[in-house]
Chain A
Amino acid sequence: MDTAYSFAAMPISNYVFPNDLHVHWSMMIVLYPYITGLVDGAFIIAALYYLFDIKTLRPVARFSLLFALAFLCCATLPLLLHLGRPERNLNMLLTPSPTSAMAGFGYIYAVSMGVLVFIVLFVYRPDLVELRVTSKGWLQFLYRAMTFDSIDLSEDALVLDKKIIRFLVGIGIPIAVVLHGYVGFIFGGVKANPTWSTPLMPVIFLFSACVSGICAIILAYIVIRKIKGRTIDHRCIKTCIKTLTLFFILAFAFEMLEVFSHSYLRTGYHHMVEGLLNGPLADSFWFWQVKIGSVIPLIILGVMGIFNIKDRLYDFMAAVVSTILLLQVFLMRWNVVIGGQLMSKSARGYTEFHPEWFGKEGILAVIIVMVIPFIILFVFSRIFPFWTTGNETDV
């Protein structure tokens, strides 16, 4: 790393402006696009089943909706932890300004939350109606509210439900795409930062979001089913992997195209961006994100796509590749968010990022924020049945 560092950064005296020494957008801002990305990808899986009729995805379709909802509940948590005065967060929604990109995210987030909640309610309605009959007390009240106090499961009502689901998922796709594309735009819109300020940013974020969400669904499905001792639907995993392969090729291609554009265009700050990728980010970008996190999964996905592999091995490989890609996307967020801030506007120096353990943006807080969606998911599992006998394995 030292040679690369000195090669690119040699004429630079490591002169850093005092206001650039500290990385202001730290780990919570890494988590923010990561969590919204998981929501986005999980929603894509559900949309493929409910709107595009990809029947093999049935075993994971309902679960991915709940997974998306659990993570969407926590999508703003990192932002609130990052704010100095989190109680003022709603002020920006009261008086949105066209020059403030964040207020736009607030509105898009609220709309996507509303749409996702209603999709879940309509998808689960037949189960909720049944559970309402058998439950008691507060839970029964909850089920009554969630079924709009109706126990109508007639053919007519179910047909209507199906139409509503298709409509909601139909508008849900552009909303989900805008939700995460907007996150990319928030970074791409920071014109003061040469590594972020590219129109490719929303596209890169969007595709890598789909990758992380699909991986999370594959991994969660395999792990939960294994723990519960239930069967794994191989055809479902296969469809997920095929979809993942497509999105990952797009994501990786765009990630590399961005680097290529920077290096071909050689804009004013190019020497700094090049020095950043080959210097402070040489390990986390080139080695971990590109070589380990992208090239290896690409080979594994290629093997899984071309060769005939036994079902059990295929599922195992799916779990492995999903784990690597989940880390790859996290590293990509890290390299963009933290990495992008390591270069000083002086164009003559790089700073360092030292993560803290116990601060409200520290490593412990990161772990807690990532655990909360799983707790919410567990609570959901007590209210909504993840799997029914109907979607055990058959389609």
Chain B
Amino acid sequence: MDLSYRMRLLIVLISIGVLAGGGLVVKRLLIPDSFGVYGPYRADAIVEAALVPIRHGTNASCFKCHPYEANIHKNGRHHTISCEFCHGTYADHVKNGKKTGTLPVKKGKEITTLCLRCHNTEIKARKEKVIKTVAMPDHLKDQNVKITHNCNQCHHVHAPLKYIIRAKQITGLMEAGS
């Protein structure tokens, strides 16, 4: 093909124009149909999100089958904490009202790690009056207990002050009912 230099440049220029125009066509093809119906997002995404199976329950879902724990939990300082926060997802345990799996129960040092997710002084997630925080192992030393102690050896995990208050009542440090 014997074209002059100017002619070739013209072809390059037209090609760029065609590519840019083609890009706009491809852009139209690639944008999902429901995009922009309600706003700058895919409207179908709302329906899709609504169809995602629910994985979490409420504390009421757990209390139905666990009345003993429910009673302690509801009356303790942890009553606002969701069961799933420590025990895992409801959907991994119950499906259609039937037990399908066992949720892992934390034991030993795992419990201390779990407690410190919120109660660590380093984190300062909330103010001290909302979440009491401690530094480890200073707290164990201050309380004159063994440094190897786990949190649940003094604190009931569902009602952290249950045993503490009781102990104080027994030793007379605190009057019953205070």
Q: Taking beta carbons and an 8 Å cutoff, which residues of A are in contact with B? A: 15-16, 18, 93-95, 97, 99, 114, 148-150, 152, 154, 157, 160, 164
Q: Which residues of the other chain, B, contact A152 by a CB distance below 8 angstroms? A: 4-5
Q: Which of B27-35, B48-56, B62-70, B166-174 lies on the face that meets chain A?
A: B27-35
Cβ contact within 8 Å between B123 and A18: yes
**B99 in the interface, Cβ–Cβ < 8 Å?**
no
Shortest distance from the beta carbon of B48 to any chain A beta carbon, whole Å: 16
**Which B residue's beta carbon lies closest to that of A148?**
B8
Q: Which residues of the other chain, B, contact A93 by a CB distance below 8 angstroms? A: 27
24 pairs, CB–CB < 8 Å, chain A vs chain B: A16-B124, A93-B27, A94-B27, A94-B30, A95-B35, A95-B36, A97-B40, A114-B16, A148-B5, A148-B9, A148-B11, A148-B12, A149-B1, A149-B8, A150-B3, A150-B5, A150-B8, A152-B4, A152-B5, A154-B5, A157-B5, A160-B5, A160-B6, A160-B9
A70 to B8 alpha-carbon distance, docked (Å)? 27
Q: Taking beta carbons and an 8 Å cutoff, which residues of B are in contact with A? A: 1, 3-6, 8-9, 11-12, 16, 27, 30-31, 35-36, 40, 123-125
Cβ contact within 8 Å between B5 and A94: no
**Which B residue's beta carbon lies closest to that of A21?**
B123
Shortest distance from the beta carbon of A123 to any chain B beta carbon, whole Å: 15
Q: Which residues of the other chain, B, contact A160 by a CB distance below 8 angstroms? A: 5-6, 9
New contact pairs (6) apart from A18-B125, A160-B5, CB-CB < 8 Å = A16-B124, A93-B27, A94-B30, A95-B31, A95-B40, A148-B5
9 closest A-B pairs by beta carbon, nearest first, are A152-B5, A97-B40, A148-B8, A157-B5, A150-B5, A150-B8, A94-B30, A18-B125, A94-B27
Q: Which residues of the other chain, B, contact A94 by a CB distance below 8 angstroms? A: 27, 30-31
Shortest distance from the beta carbon of A68 to any chain B beta carbon, whole Å: 20
Shortest distance from the beta carbon of B6 to any chain A beta carbon, whole Å: 7
**Which A residue's beta carbon lies closest to that of B11?**
A148
A164 to B9 alpha-carbon distance, docked (Å)? 10
Shortest distance from the beta carbon of A66 to any chain B beta carbon, whole Å: 21
**Which B residue's beta carbon lies closest to that of A15?**
B124
A94 to B29 alpha-carbon distance, docked (Å)? 10
Which of A114, A148, A154, A164 has the most CB atoms of chain B within a 10 A radius of its CB? A148
Q: Which residues of the other chain, B, contact A95 by a CB distance below 8 angstroms? A: 31, 35-36, 40
Shortest distance from the beta carbon of B97 to any chain A beta carbon, whole Å: 36
A97 to B5 alpha-carbon distance, docked (Å)? 41
**Which A residue's beta carbon lies closest to that of B12?**
A148
Q: Which residues of the other chain, A, contact B16 by a CB distance below 8 angstroms? A: 114
Shortest distance from the beta carbon of A374 to any chain B beta carbon, whole Å: 30
**Which B residue's beta carbon lies closest to that of A156?**
B5
Q: Which residues of the other chain, A, contact B36 by a CB distance below 8 angstroms? A: 95
A93 to B30 alpha-carbon distance, docked (Å)? 11
**Which B residue's beta carbon lies closest to that of A151?**
B5
A255 to B126 alpha-carbon distance, docked (Å)? 37
**Which A residue's beta carbon lies closest to that of B124?**
A15
A97 to B42 alpha-carbon distance, docked (Å)? 13
A164 to B8 alpha-carbon distance, docked (Å)? 14
A18 to B124 alpha-carbon distance, docked (Å)? 8
A152 to B16 alpha-carbon distance, docked (Å)? 21
Shortest distance from the beta carbon of B20 to any chain A beta carbon, whole Å: 10
Shortest distance from the beta carbon of A150 to any chain B beta carbon, whole Å: 5
Q: Which residues of the other chain, A, contact B8 by a CB distance below 8 angstroms? A: 148-150
A157 to B8 alpha-carbon distance, docked (Å)? 11
**Which A residue's beta carbon lies closest to that of B125?**
A18
Shortest distance from the beta carbon of A361 to any chain B beta carbon, whole Å: 24
A114 to B16 alpha-carbon distance, docked (Å)? 10
Q: Which residues of the other chain, B, contact A97 by a CB distance below 8 angstroms? A: 40
Q: Which residues of the other chain, A, contact B4 by a CB distance below 8 angstroms? A: 152
Shortest distance from the beta carbon of B16 to any chain A beta carbon, whole Å: 8
Q: Which residues of the other chain, A, contact B27 by a CB distance below 8 angstroms? A: 93-94
Shortest distance from the beta carbon of B171 to any chain A beta carbon, whole Å: 35
**Which A residue's beta carbon lies closest to that of B8?**
A148
A157 to B40 alpha-carbon distance, docked (Å)? 48
Q: Which residues of the other chain, A, contact B123 by a CB distance below 8 angstroms? A: 18
A16 to B125 alpha-carbon distance, docked (Å)? 8
Q: Which residues of the other chain, A, contact B125 by a CB distance below 8 angstroms? A: 18
Shortest distance from the beta carbon of B12 to any chain A beta carbon, whole Å: 6
Q: Which residues of the other chain, A, contact B31 by a CB distance below 8 angstroms? A: 94-95
A15 to B30 alpha-carbon distance, docked (Å)? 46
**Which A residue's beta carbon lies closest to that of B36?**
A95
A164 to B12 alpha-carbon distance, docked (Å)? 13
Q: Which residues of the other chain, B, contact A164 by a CB distance below 8 angstroms? A: 9
Shortest distance from the beta carbon of B45 to any chain A beta carbon, whole Å: 13
Shortest distance from the beta carbon of B98 to any chain A beta carbon, whole Å: 37
Shortest distance from the beta carbon of B24 to any chain A beta carbon, whole Å: 11
Shortest distance from the beta carbon of B143 to any chain A beta carbon, whole Å: 25
Shortest distance from the beta carbon of B34 to any chain A beta carbon, whole Å: 12
Which of A16, A18, A94, A149 has the most CB atoms of chain B within a 10 A radius of its CB? A94
Q: Which residues of the other chain, A, contact B30 by a CB distance below 8 angstroms? A: 94
Q: Which residues of the other chain, A, contact B35 by a CB distance below 8 angstroms? A: 95
A164 to B27 alpha-carbon distance, docked (Å)? 30
Q: Which residues of the other chain, A, contact B6 by a CB distance below 8 angstroms? A: 160
A154 to B3 alpha-carbon distance, docked (Å)? 14
